[in-house]
Chain A
Amino acid sequence: GAVVSQHPSRVICKSGTSVKIECRSLDFQATTMFWYRQFPKKSLMLMATSNEGSKATYEQGVEKDKFLINHASLTLSTLTVTSAHPEDSSFYICSARDQVSSTDTQYFGPGTRLTVL
C-alpha cells in the first residue's frame, strides 16, 4: 500500500514554456500533499504544502505565481512550472500523507526530472 505516482517522470522543454507535473496517491486518500525540489547533490527542499480544496502554502522564497499548485481531489495534486527557465531545471518530488492512517508518514512519488533548455 501507500503508493504515490508522478507523471511525467522526465520532461525536457524550451525556456518560456509551462510544464505540468501530476502527483497521485494510488491506494489512499491524501488531504495533504507536499512538493519538493532537489538539486544535484543537495538535500530535499520543501516548496509548498498542497491542501485539498484550498490554497497551497508556499515556503519562503518560492514564488506562488511561478509554481502553481492545484489539489482538486483527495488523490491528485498538480504542480505547474510557468514560464520555465534553465534555473528551474531540477528534480521535483511530491509526497502524500495518508489521512486515514494515524501516523503522519509521508510517502514519496518517484520524482520528475525537469530540464529546461
Chain B
Amino acid sequence: QKEVEQNSGPLSVPEGAIASLNCTYSDRGSQSFFWYRQYSGKSPELIMSIYSNGDKEDGRFTAQLNKASQYVSLLIRDSQPSDSATYLCAVNGGNNRLAFGKGNQVVVIP
C-alpha cells in the first residue's frame, strides 16, 4: 500500500462550483498534513496545512482531517479558472520527510 493515495482521476468542475479532493494515508502515526497546488511546469506552492481533526478554512479553501479514518480532503468553493492545477496531498509521518500523493488534476470550466 502506498503511503499517500489520491485515486481520483482528473476532476472537471464548472466555474463557481465546489471541487472536492480526497487523500488517504497509511501511517496512522502521521501528524502533519498539507495540500499543495502545482501549476504545469511550476513547483508546488502551499495552500493549506492541517494538524488536528476537523475542518480548517482559509478563504475559498477548506481542509478536512479525520485521523481515525486516515483521510484528509480539500474543498475549493466558488472554483475559478485560476484554480485549474494539480493538487498534491502530502503527509509528514514524523521523520521530517513528506510523502506525496500522485496528485489530482482539477480543471475549472468557465
Contacts and interface: CB of A to CB of B under 8 A. Distances in A.
Interface of A: 32, 34, 42-44, 46, 49, 91, 93, 95, 97, 103-111
Interface of B is mostly: strand
A92 B44 CA distance: 12
B65 to A, nearest CB: 15
A94 to B, nearest CB: 9
Interface extent on B, as a size class? 20 to 34
Interface string B58-75: 000000000000000000
B93 to A, nearest CB: 11
Interface in B1-38: 32, 34, 36
Contact of B42 (A105, A107, A111): A111
B96 to A, nearest CB: 6
B88 A44 contact: yes
Interface string B68-87: 00000000000000000000
Interface of A is mostly: strand
A104 B92 contact: yes
B49 interface: yes
Given A103-B32, A105-B34, A93 B43 contact: yes
A97 B96 contact: yes
Contacts of B36: 108
Given A43-B88, A49-B96, A105 B103 contact: no
Given A43-B100, A97-B96, A105 B49 contact: yes
